[in-house]
Structures are given as C-alpha cells and as structure tokens.
Amino acid sequence: MRIFTNTWFSRFARKEKIPISALLDAAQRADQGQIDADLGGGVIKQRIARPGEDKSKGFRSILLFRKGERCIFVFGFPKSDLGNIRDDEEEQFKKMAKLVLGLTDAQLSVLVLNGQFEEVMYDKEIPQ
C-alpha cells in the first residue's frame, strides 16, 4: 500500500511533531480493517496518538483510503480543538476521494513531483 500526505497535512504533521511511525500505524491499522470511523465514499477517520500519549487524547485524521492500494492523509486536527468535521466538509472530502482515488500511479507521481503530495516512506521522517 502506498501512503501519501497532501501539502496541508504535511505542514500540520510538522507543526504538531507527528512522527512518520504514527502515520504508518494509522494507515496499517486501517489496512487491517481497524478503521476508527468509515465516513463512506473512500473517506475514513483515524486516530493518531500524540507522542508519549494514547490515541484517545491525540489527533484525528481524515484519510482518502482504498484497502491495499492507497492511503492519503488530507486533514488533521487535535481532538481537544474540534469534535468532528462538519457535514459539508465531509461531502467535500468524499468528492476529493472520488477524484484522487481514481488517479493512476503516473498521475500521482506528477502530483508528488509538483509538491502537492508527499509519499510517506517507511524509513523517512517528516523534516522538522
């Protein structure tokens, strides 16, 4: 499974000092069927633990997800700042999922080259 972050989420992860290992954990749990909330249309919500804490007090992330293929982190927020996303935001994420999950690998590679997406590598941390 290939894992990506969009530009917004990469900045969020750097600001909040979320390690790559936490993103990998969230993606792997989803791929194993341990999805915190399935919003439908290829959009899921996964918990991400704060460093040194458990997932319940951490972050919530919105992912565009296709099992065994792609996981794209597109939005995140601290649980303490926001209880949930709004219905209109959920609809926008579903529209985004339909578009992004339909891209070919070549099209995704162009987005990575253009700096719009960053591929999460198993041996790389997000620069601080």
Tens digit of pLDDT at every position of the chain (128 positions):
999 999 999 999 999 999 998 999 999 999 999 999 999 999 999 999 877 666 666 899 999 999 999 999 999 998 767 667 889 999 999 999 999 999 999 999 999 999 999 999 876 544 44
**CA 17-65-54 angle, 5° bins:** 40
Q: Distance between CA 128 and CA 126 in Å, rounded? A: 6
End-to-end CA distance of the chain: 25
DSSP secondary structure code for residue 55 in this structure:
G
State the pLDDT at residue 128: 42
